Amino acid sequence: MTYSTEQKRKELEKYFEEKSSFNILRVAQMKRDWKKANRRELTWWESTYIPTVAGGIWTTSTHFFRNLFFHIMHLFGLYKNVSAAVTYQYPEQKRPLAKRLRTRHRLMKREDGSPRCVACMMCETVCPARCIEITAAEHPNPNIEKYPAEFKLDLGKCVYCGFCVEVCPEDAIRMDTGKLDTAEYSRQSMIYDKKRLMEE
C-alpha cells in the first residue's frame, strides 16, 4: 500500500494539535511505516547482492590501483603534483574545512579593542549545555549599557550547536576560527575566559 502526500498530511494533522512525547514517537513510527510501504521490492538479480558486491569491489580496486600507480610514479619523481594518498596525514596535513563548519568560538572586538559583547545574557540563556557564564558590568561609555566584566565558556561541556552565535544581537560571538583540536591537560583549562576568547 502506498500513501499519497494528501493522506500523509491528513494523518499527521491529527498529531499536530497536541505536542506530547507520545505524539512525536507516533509521527516517527508513521514515517517509518510510509518508508516501508513505499520501498521498492528487489529483483531476483538484485537479491543475490552480486551487482552491489561487484560495484563495491570495482570502486575499491579503482582507488587502490590509482594510488599504487601514483605512488610508484612519485618514487621516480613523476606526477609529484598529483596526490596518491586517500587519507590526510594529520596533523601535518590538515583537512580543508567547509566554510559553514562551526569551529572554536571567538569574541569579536570593537575598533578600540574592547569586546563587542553588551552582556545581554542571550547566549548564556539559550545555551543548552549551560557552559557560558557572563558577569555583566556597567560600561564607562554612556552609549553602551553593559559589557562583560568576565565571559567564560567551558569548551569541555560545549556541544558546538551554534545557538549562541545565532542568538547574539551584536554579532559579538562567532564560531569561525577553523580550530577544532581543543586539547588540554585538565578540565579547568578547558574553560576559556574573555581574554583567551578574544585572542582566538
Judged by the rule CB under 6 A, the positions of this chain that interact with ligand SF4 are 117-123, 126-129, 131-132, 134, 153, 158-164, 167-168, 170, 172-173
Q: Would you say 11 or 154 has its CB closer to ligand SF4?
A: 154
Closest CB 54 distance from ligand SF4, rounded Å: 45
Find the distance separating the first CA and the last CA of the chain, reported in whole Å.
57
Closest CB 85 distance from ligand SF4, rounded Å: 33
Neighbouring-strand partners of residue 133: 152
Taking the CB of residue 161, how many other CB atoms lie within 10 A of it? 14
- How far from 27 is each of 4, 8, 37, 38, 196, CA to CA, in Å? 16, 10, 15, 17, 45
Q: Would you say 78 or 121 has its CB closer to ligand SF4?
A: 121
Closest CB 28 distance from ligand SF4, rounded Å: 25
Identity at 154, one-letter amino acid code: D
Q: Would you say 128 or 178 has its CB closer to ligand SF4?
A: 128
Q: Would you say 84 or 156 has its CB closer to ligand SF4?
A: 156
Neighbouring-strand partners of residue 153: 132, 192
Closest CB 75 distance from ligand SF4, rounded Å: 46
DSSP 143: T
